[in-house]
Structure 1
């Protein structure tokens, strides 16, 4: 028999804040068993009603979803996706980098989301969407349709009376989605990738989707074709992170212009959800033009939760530990008490994050038997970073998953975190390639960086030509090209210019790696959460300045290849082996939990490092104990009952 007291001491704190973070619901999905369905159920029902209206008449509608920081806006979007994914297709639209690329950003994010495979399904949303079109229900002609591109295109054109933009090419690319060898290429065209001429020829299209107008019309095509299937829900999240106005306010006007265009141009079968912090929304709504406000069909406000709901939230988090206890605890929220909620929130209301933070601190104090005066922020941040980085690695599978514009913006944010004060936010080139460049001073040298991953070699040539012009004007001491995509062949003019510039000192070519992109993408996720006041690390809610400090203090970037190649951080003289990484993980976990069971440590380490066997991990713990890094409180007890803490000073 194991008492609940011992179970709590040995377990990970069920209210641990490592995962209290918003993000893309295709990457950060919450565990369904931890959801309290009574929380914000009314708001979900309102949004579901609006979705049903779209499904009924196919008219696009817009919802403004508001809530304070910590109210659960991103969690609500995730619940909507989990609940309604069999009745609608869901796309997550994050903040955009440049307003001049807004439509292309939305199209790219939409297709990226449609490429995700929903839980319980075998195929992506995109293929489910395509195969749910009416022509696939005509079984008599299905073999003929799938075997003849022209018949497929003609039949689809006959099925939709409304004009489609660039119909033959668009429908032809949809046909190529059904070809396993062309699926990725066809998806890239729909995402707006600037494909090379050879790839365009394979798809039988003349041009990539390279303008805002083309992206707008392709998005309209998706809605128009989906009128005989499910609506497409575009969820705009983290909008407080978009570029602001000159007075520092979040600039939503371009988003409102986008929304007005959807309604004015009568886009079909979309449900638009804008998620905003209440304070931002109220300030902006008061300044909105009546015409913009009229295009918002419904406003949904996430209200604070009641103490009963907070209590049920505690019960849900503690239930798995209570089930293992014998005898059973007298209270379903033990070691917490209802009185704690009433004392902490005398108004009878709170938000989920605040309720969880109160519980986290109290459980930590119960585990250790003392008041918690301070917590190790660096250890907590290292675990947050590790969890976020692992999730990123599972989702980001190639460098070109992001546009060059996004990659450069992420690199700028990373350089700012390093306090490179001479970073020039203005770009190198005064033409169409400005978005792919940045510059900074390194000592007394002025360095220009160009990052382009577009496969189109004509585009590559013009960028190389601009690089040569920059050097001819003697504006930079060093140019750095970052590119993993092909460079062309000796006969290509772009390749010739590349050879002339980037194979000679002091200019260099850095081949971008997936690992570096994962570093950038992970930091972007944390940056956006901190900007919106949604990033919780230990007992702190971080702002951007504190996040940047922790990035530097924690040294989580010591193995960041791109920053090493750029000379912005020193290369690690000794690469950590897997046991070194496991040791660091174990120490950080003990520091944040303060008291934890030996077996719990081992199980968490196995989850993180499955290539290390249990015996080696136990030996590692013993060595850490011998080196006075950790302390086993009861060394004579069985391993199942041993408790571990950090060695006191």
Structure 2
């Protein structure tokens, strides 16, 4: 075994900021070994108490969760889910693309979360919720009902006589959830997918959930038949970056209206948690209507953590490295010290992010023997991007995971980052379809883009009519359609109209790869908007994120953006070039790293490569004097790699 000094110099900085970005707790898995239970324990206990109240009387409660940027609000929501997913169903609801689609956004995100499978379970939250109905406890009755759709619906209506919206169709879709053949189609209807007529007939429903009123009432159905089920916890997070008011403040009124509606309609069995940065919440309190304020049952503020908890945080991150050392370090937080904490935080308290950033700084200086001066965060940003993109690609399995309005908003955000000339949303004059469009200027004039992935061909026809109207009114000099869903056949009116408006050059079919780029940027955008994006030793705001995105050219290989003419880049980047970029960026952020550790990290990122191929790439970079190998005659496991010759140990 090696000395702790050698291990720390070879290892990735355990406080590396690449891992600082929290998010949707169904997508971002937190390492439980790094969680310090004592941190925000009081807040967890209070939320548990609120959950117990809902369990006891089924009355919905709303909690306002506040904390400074970096206090750990998103991480706390994840811990809450980990602790209590056996007692409640958890839904994560992030920022909405447009307040006119808020109820549809809440419904879609709620059902998406209910489709997730909790740890230790075999079935999704949605099926567990459904099978908790009282009729599922009566085996003989259930056996008869599962073979008879009408009897199933009739029995549920007798069991839950409250005023359900569109009861026969809603309960019929619940019945279809029990059939694996129809489960995903039924789930899509519940999510608010604008399904095609054939799919609607299969589900025996007349129409999709395509209005705010319908989405509100379907969500209400979950609350009206909840007497037998566990509570549903709706976690609203990252709201500080939603569209603001003309005065520049965060516009929360739409959400508060929804919250008041849920309470006024006496919908049962919801625990609503609204997470906000403290300053945002306090600045908005004065604008709250008394009726909205009355619908917030409790407020929980995350307090700074004590230095003893910082020590626990450090010990958890350093433990895997300390285990490898012989002899064992004298302190569980070596090379950090309590005296250092007292010096940096004389008030004896701080927030978790500041504590982690200090840990990163000290380890960097210990590894390299020099202080962090003017840090170039571009390599760090490229690594943050790569990690985020790879996570996105694993979870994005189809384009219709996202609504058409969400996709258009993602494209708009990316266009802003790329500084596309005169970019504007809501290009189409038709109020129903304007949210599916944007416009920009190129050398020839205004170009309109429409993007709709709804499979319903009737809706597609009316979108084409809106495009025809824009063309006839000379609102643009060119139109582009983005759509991967089918267009219909020659007999369809929408297809005929499409043929008069678009050709193979103006109809772009996005790939899953392109969606991965857009979703990744949106996730970083949301993190930057609430001050939760950490890159190197900085927390970029949205303007800084846009600049880093342009300078790093991380979007230049997105096929859709290339097809639009917004970026110019090679459609295919060689595996070797991607590997070399990764190795250089990782060495740049660490400054000093063990050769074997570098190989292992590269193998994690490029699973198609083996250690020998990566080792050859390192030798090639060394031969080209792009990197320095300290003591090249030493055993490979002992070699250190850096950029600067003066780093010698």
TM-based fold match above 0.5: yes
Unaligned runs of 5+ in 1: none
Deviations 1:189-226 (A, max 9, x none): 00011111111000000011111111111111112223
Distance 1:461 1:55 in 2: 47
Distance 1:648 1:457, change over 3 A: farther
Cα distance, 1:141 vs structure 2: 2.6
What is aligned with 2:537? 539
Give runs of aligned pairs for residues 255-274 of structure 1, distance below 5 A.
255-274=255-274
Residues 1:586 and 2:604 aligned together: no
What is aligned with 1:239? 239
What is aligned with 1:113? 113
What is aligned with 1:559? 557
Distance 1:579 1:172 in 2: 54
Deviations 1:243-262 (A, max 9, x none): 11110011111111111111
What is aligned with 1:525? 523
Distance 2:270 2:291 in 1: 19
What is aligned with 1:224? 224
Deviations 1:245-304 (A, max 9, x none): 110011111111111111110011000000000001011113312211111001000000
What is aligned with 1:82? 82
Deviations 1:542-598 (A, max 9, x none): 01111111101111112111110100111317x222222122111111111111111
Aligned-residue RMSD, C-alpha: 1.3
Distance 1:648 1:459 in 2: 64
What is aligned with 1:394? 394
Distance 1:597 1:133 in 2: 57
Aligned residue for 1:558, secondary structure, equals coil
What is aligned with 1:289? 289
What is aligned with 1:607? 604
Aligned residue for 1:227, secondary structure, equals coil
What is aligned with 2:509? 511
Distance 1:525 1:41 in 2: 28
Cα distance, 1:647 vs structure 2: 5.1
The TM-score with structure 1 as length reference comes to 0.98
What is aligned with 1:96? 96
Paired residues of 2:430 and 2:466 also in contact (CA < 8 A):
no
Q: Which moved more, 1:394-403 or 1:144-153?
A: 144-153
What is aligned with 1:28? 28
Q: Which moved more, 1:231-240 or 1:511-520?
A: 511-520
Give runs of aligned pairs for residues 3-402 of structure 1, distance below 5 A.
3-402=3-402
Paired residues of 2:114 and 2:124 also in contact (CA < 8 A):
yes
Cα distance, 1:490 vs structure 2: 0.4
Residues 1:472 and 2:469 aligned together: no
Distance 2:501 2:312 in 1: 64
Deviations 1:605-642 (A, max 9, x none): 11111111111111111112112222110211111111
Distance 1:277 1:427 in 2: 33
Q: Which moved more, 1:114-123 or 1:447-456?
A: 114-123
Paired residues of 2:425 and 2:437 also in contact (CA < 8 A):
no
Distance 2:72 2:223 in 1: 29
Paired residues of 2:194 and 2:454 also in contact (CA < 8 A):
yes
Cα distance, 1:165 vs structure 2: 1.1
Paired residues of 1:628 and 1:647 also in contact (CA < 8 A):
no
Cα distance, 1:430 vs structure 2: 3.3
Deviations 1:475-518 (A, max 9, x none): 211100000001000000000011111127xx610001111111
Aligned residue pairs total 646
Give runs of aligned pairs for residues 415-494 of structure 1, distance below 5 A.
415-494=415-494
Deviations 1:413-441 (A, max 9, x none): 10000112311234222331000000000
Distance 2:100 2:496 in 1: 31
Distance 2:34 2:49 in 1: 25
The TM-score with structure 2 as length reference comes to 0.98
Paired residues of 1:429 and 1:437 also in contact (CA < 8 A):
no
Cα distance, 1:19 vs structure 2: 1.6
Aligned residue for 2:97, secondary structure, equals coil
Paired residues of 1:3 and 1:327 also in contact (CA < 8 A):
yes
Paired residues of 1:398 and 1:514 also in contact (CA < 8 A):
yes
Cα distance, 1:469 vs structure 2: 1.5
Give runs of aligned pairs for residues 621-640 of structure 1, distance below 5 A.
621-640=618-637
